[in-house]
């Protein structure tokens, strides 16, 4: 593991500990706030003005689907609750925030995401695409960032620190759950719970490998013609141990997955606030 990746993992681990232990760190100066409205989870991140994690909160939810808000009232309620939790931890009101959308999101869909955050009591100061937000945490200036979410997989290609290509494909964790539901003859909701059970991951991973291989083939098609020597995986749906090895085998390009890939994009959104 490179020194850079160790540093990135330490940074992400700090944020993860704050979320899962419901803690906050002391800070100085202005706060940066990010709201990630994901298909499977909504995450609120708070950083200090230097980008150091201060606090955060997470809520599993299905109020957004493939970048579309399907339950506006529910989404606002969840963001308000996450905001309340963090404000209680840090003793300060959050008034500004950045948010993110899948690559290629335009018009009303982008506005709906912003409206959720603003209805929860925070003014949106920036909207960024999800893989670009992740790249800011990973310190990626050259390579491909692949954000494997619940409903879609976003792809951003960077050269010399600039995003030169983005795409969003309708494949993600939802498709794994559908395969598991069919294999075990259980409901989709039960399959979602099974997929997230760490004690069952070794058992179910071989069942979802064909879905991951399909994701890898899609990514391979998008990066063809670009001089890519590294692929960086983020997003909650790539949390399976060995996920990155499937990508490496299918694409033949070094594939890196940081710790807590679910939390990379929320951190990055906060950096853009």
Q: Residues 75-120: pLDDT tens digits?
A: 999 999 999 999 999 999 999 999 998 877 766 778 889 999 999 9
Q: Residues 115-157: pLDDT tens digits?
A: 999 999 999 999 998 888 999 999 999 999 999 988 888 899 9
pLDDT (0 to 100) of residue 190: 95
Query: What domain range is 49 assigned to?
Result: 1-132+261-269
In three-state form (DSSP H/G/I as H, E/B as E, the rest C), the secondary structure along the chain is CCHHHHHHHHHHHHHHHHHHCCCCCCCCCCEEEEEEECCCEEEEEEEECCCCEEEEEEEECCCEECCEECCHHHHHHHHHHHHHHHHHHHCCCCCEEEEEECCCCCHHHHHHHHHHHHHCCCEEEEEEEHHHHHHHHHCCCCEEEEEECCCCEEEEEEECCEEEEEEEECCCHHHHHHHHHHHHCCCHHHHHHHHCCHHHHHHHHHHHHHHHHHHHHHHHHHHCCCCCCEEEEECHHHCCCCHHHHHHHHHCCEEECCCCHHHHHHHHHHHCC
- The domain tally of the chain equals 2
CATH number at residue 1: 3.30.420.40
Q: Residues 198-254: pLDDT tens digits?
A: 899 999 999 999 999 999 999 999 999 999 999 999 998 899 999 999 999 999 999
In this structure, the answer to whether residues 90 and 53 fall within a common structural domain is: yes
pLDDT (0 to 100) of residue 250: 96
In this structure, the answer to whether residues 38 and 161 fall within a common structural domain is: no
In this structure, the answer to whether residues 10 and 114 fall within a common structural domain is: yes
Q: Could you tell me the pTM of the whole model?
A: 0.90
In this structure, the answer to whether residues 204 and 222 fall within a common structural domain is: yes
In this structure, the answer to whether residues 19 and 30 fall within a common structural domain is: yes
């Amino acid at each position: 593991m490179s020194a850079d990746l160790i540093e990135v993992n330490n940074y992400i681990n700090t944020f993860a500990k704050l979320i899962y232990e419901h803690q906050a760190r002391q800070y100085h100066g202005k706060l940066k706030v990010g709201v990630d409205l994901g298909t499977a989870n909504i995450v609120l991140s708070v950083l200090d003005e230097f980008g150091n994690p201060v606090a955060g909160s997470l809520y599993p939810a299905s109020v957004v689907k493939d970048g579309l808000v399907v339950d506006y009232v529910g989404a606002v309620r969840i963001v308000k609750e996450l905001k309340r939790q963090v404000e209680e931890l840090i003793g300060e009101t959050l008034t500004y925030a950045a948010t993110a959308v899948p690559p290629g999101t335009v018009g009303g869909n982008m506005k709906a995401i912003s409206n959720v955050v603003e209805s929860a009591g925070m003014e949106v100061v920036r909207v960024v695409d999800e893989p670009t937000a992740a790249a800011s945490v990973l310190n990626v200036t050259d390579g491909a960032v692949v954000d494997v979410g619940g409903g879609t997989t976003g792809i951003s290609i960077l050269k010399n620190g600039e995003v030169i290509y983005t795409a969003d494909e309708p494949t993600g964790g939802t498709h794994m759950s559908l395969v598991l539901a069919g294999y075990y003859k259980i409901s989709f909701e039960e399959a979602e719970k099974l997929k997230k059970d760490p004690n069952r991951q070794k058992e179910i991973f071989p069942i979802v490998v064909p879905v991951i291989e399909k994701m890898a083939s899609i990514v391979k098609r998008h990066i063809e013609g670009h001089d890519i020597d590294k692929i960086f995986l983020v997003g909650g749906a790539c949390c399976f141990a060995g996920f990155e090895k499937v990508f490496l085998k299918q694409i033949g390009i070094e594939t890196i997955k940081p710790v807590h890939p679910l939390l990379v994009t929320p951190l990055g959104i906060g950096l853009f606030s």
